[in-house]
């Protein structure tokens, strides 16, 4: 099947005629030019997929400099356009110079038809590949914009949040490792996305790994990848999360749940800035910006011997502490209004608002599930309300953990147990729904329930 368009530039009319007869059998469009000066006009009309360019156009000159000049002119217009150079004078040094300046290949006259066609078809395949890469990058850019729009941060008005925002804007533009701490539901992953958006790696990917859901047996394969045959189910080579995040950002959520033996493997990868796939022996260099998050007190875990101190220093260049919602009640009306607008648009409910009594009640509630609980509560109320003004009876606020509970004097396990119990009650013991509300995976929730 004939595919693509080719431009042939050669001052020999016999050569042009012979090439037209040959190439019309393989390409949809064959354009012939006897002078390279016509390239400027043609490029403004319809750019070809590949160019076959002679290297000498002036009588008595065979240095190839003319071809190199026009190669550079073509590359200025379209850096990805494959250019195959054509000459009657085989010169290794000239060929090397041409390839360094961006030529795709080099053909010597008189040519072998089969070799010429194979070279040009390979050049066309390269063009197609570059077009697909460009399209994927453009699509990724659009998706990133949509994701950023979806992940838009509602900061609130409290001093604690304003200070946090200033610190984020200051450190995001560096490559410093960041540890985000705070209770479940405070928005640690949203902050990680915001750091990525503000960073110099904003156009690259952000890869998220839930460390609480990664089993010991699959840890290395999941993070570092594996080669074919490394274990029973390794039917193909597979890149791990570190390689997937190369040049971008790696977000390790719930890093406090990582077992002590696995912490050493993670530390080694971070220190050496390279990984080795399971079953392989070739080190793969990695260039990532690391962001970690946890709801645990890692300093306390270090004192208990549950977390490596050297790993803590590695991941904790900058620590960002997100305060719980109950400690910044002035942010609750702002956040509630943000979610109200979001879900009113999503569910096509116009001119929806809160009654004054509803705002007071929302602000007085203790929100054990933090922002995530507020978000789900507002969404549910928007869906179920029958009027445009949301009343307090449109909201289900759990009475299980009253506002008088002094969480500051509880252990982490005691507070975690209350949060899990409340989430299970609100979701009628649906583990998947409760896990989603708490911001953890279902296996992590199951493990926590078993532990508690």
Q: How far apart are CA 156 and CA 278, in angstroms?
A: 45
Which tokens in the block code for residue 193?
Answer: 């996305």
Which tokens in the block code for residue 156?
Answer: 């609130």
Is 392 or 180 the better-scoring residue by pLDDT?
180
Sequence-separated (6 or more) residues with CB below 8 Å from residue 285: 273, 274
Share of the chain above pLDDT 90, in %: 51
- C-alpha distance across the termini of the chain, in Å: 66
Topology of domain 5-132 in CATH is: Rossmann fold (3.40.50)
Is 196 or 56 the better-scoring residue by pLDDT?
196
Task: Write the pLDDT tens digit of every residue in 11-35.
Answer: 888 999 999 999 999 999 898 988 8
- Collapsed DSSP state (helix, strand, coil) of residue 92: helix
Q: Would you place residue 359 in the very low, low, confident or very high pLDDT band (cuts 50, 70, 90)?
A: very high
Domain 5-132 and domain 159-321, same fold? Reply is yes
Say how far residue 339 (Cα) sits from the centre of its chain.
Answer: 25
Q: Would you place residue 138 in the very low, low, confident or very high pLDDT band (cuts 50, 70, 90)?
A: low
Nearest to 253 by CA among 103, 438, 45, 98: 438
Is 368 or 406 the better-scoring residue by pLDDT?
368
Q: How far apart are CA 206 and CA 97, in angstroms?
A: 39
5 sits in which H/E element: strand 5-9
The second-level CATH assignment, the architecture, of 325-451 is Orthogonal Bundle (1.10)
What residues pair up with 18 in beta bridges, in sequence order?
A: none
Task: Write the pLDDT tens digit of every residue in 217-258.
Answer: 889 999 999 988 888 888 888 889 999 999 999 999 999 999
| Whether domain 159-321 has CATH 3.90.950.10 | no
Compute the C-alpha angle 188/192/198, nearest 5°: 140
Q: How far apart are CA 322 and CA 293, in angstroms?
A: 11
Q: Would you place residue 122 in the very low, low, confident or very high pLDDT band (cuts 50, 70, 90)?
A: very high
Does the pLDDT of residue 406 top 70, yes or no? no
Which tokens in the block code for residue 272?
Answer: 């050496």
Q: How far apart are CA 175 and CA 235, in angstroms?
A: 36
| Averaged pLDDT, 389-409 | 69
pLDDT at 402: 45
pLDDT at 117: 93
Checking phi first, is residue 366 left (phi over 0); if not, alpha (psi -120 to 50) or beta? alpha
pLDDT at 318: 96
Does the pLDDT of residue 194 top 60, yes or no? yes
Least confident range of 159-163, 171-175, 439-443: 439-443
| Averaged pLDDT, 384-397 | 89
Q: Would you place residue 262 in the very low, low, confident or very high pLDDT band (cuts 50, 70, 90)?
A: very high
Q: How far apart are CA 445 and CA 257, in angstroms?
A: 12
pLDDT at 400: 46
Is 302 or 451 the better-scoring residue by pLDDT?
302
What residues pair up with 9 in beta bridges, in sequence order?
A: 33, 53
Would you list the domain boundaries of the chain?
A: 5-132, 159-321, 325-451
* Predicted TM-score of the model (pTM): 0.62
pLDDT at 256: 92
| Averaged pLDDT, 429-440 | 83
Q: Would you place residue 61 in the very low, low, confident or very high pLDDT band (cuts 50, 70, 90)?
A: low
Q: Would you place residue 376 in the very low, low, confident or very high pLDDT band (cuts 50, 70, 90)?
A: very high
């Amino acid at each position: 099947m004939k595919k693509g368009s080719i431009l042939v530039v050669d001052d020999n009319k016999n050569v042009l005629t012979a090439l037209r007869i040959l190439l019309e059998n393989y390409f949809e469009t064959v354009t012939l030019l006897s002078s390279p000066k016509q390239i400027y006009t043609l490029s403004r009309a319809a750019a070809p997929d590949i160019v076959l360019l002679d290297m000498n156009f002036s009588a008595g000159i065979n240095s190839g400099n003319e071809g190199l000049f026009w190669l550079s002119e073509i590359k200025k217009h379209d850096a990805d356009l494959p250019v195959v150079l054509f000459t009657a004078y085989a010169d290794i040094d000239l060929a090397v110079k041409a390839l360094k300046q961006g030529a795709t290949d080099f053909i010597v006259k008189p040519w072998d038809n089969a070799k010429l066609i194979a070279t040009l078809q390979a050049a066309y395949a390269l063009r197609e590949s570059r077009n697909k890469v460009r399209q994927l990058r453009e699509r990724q850019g659009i998706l990133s914009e949509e994701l950023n729009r979806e992940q838009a941060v509602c900061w609130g008005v409290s001093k604690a949040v304003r200070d946090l925002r200033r610190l984020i804007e200051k450190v995001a533009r560096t490559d410093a490792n960041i540890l985000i701490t705070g209770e479940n539901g405070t928005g640690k992953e949203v902050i990680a996305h915001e750091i990525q958006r503000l960073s110099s790696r904003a156009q690259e990917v952000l890869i998220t790994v839930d460390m609480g859901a990664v089993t010991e047996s699959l840890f290395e394969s999941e993070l570092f990848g594996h080669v074919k045959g490394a274990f029973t189910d390794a039917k193909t080579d597979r890149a791990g999360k570190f390689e997937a995040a190369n040049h971008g950002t790696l977000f390790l959520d719930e890093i406090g749940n990582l077992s002590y033996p696995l912490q050493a493997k993670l530390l080694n990868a971070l220190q050496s800035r390279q990984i080795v796939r399971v079953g392989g022996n070739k080190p793969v260099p990695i260039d990532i910006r690391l962001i970690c998050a946890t709801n645990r007190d890692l300093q306390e875990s270090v004192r208990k011997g549950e977390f490596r101190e050297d790993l803590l220093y590695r991941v904790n260049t900058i620590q960002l502490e997100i305060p719980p919602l109950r400690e910044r009640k002035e942010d609750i009306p702002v956040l509630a209004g943000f979610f109200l607008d979001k879900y009113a648009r999503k569910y096509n409910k116009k001119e929806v608002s809160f009654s004054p009594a509803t705002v007071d009640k929302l602000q007085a509630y203790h929100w054990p599930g933090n922002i995530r609980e507020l978000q789900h509560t507002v969404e549910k109320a928007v869906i179920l309300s029958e009027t445009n003004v949301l009343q307090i009876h449109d909201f289900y606020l759990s009475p299980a953990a009253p506002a008088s509970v002094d969480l500051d004097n509880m252990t982490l396990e005691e507070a975690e147990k209350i949060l899990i119990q409340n989430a299970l009650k609100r979701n009628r013991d649906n583990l998947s729904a409760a896990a989603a509300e708490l911001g953890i995976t279902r296996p992590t929730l199951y493990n926590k329930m078993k532990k508690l």
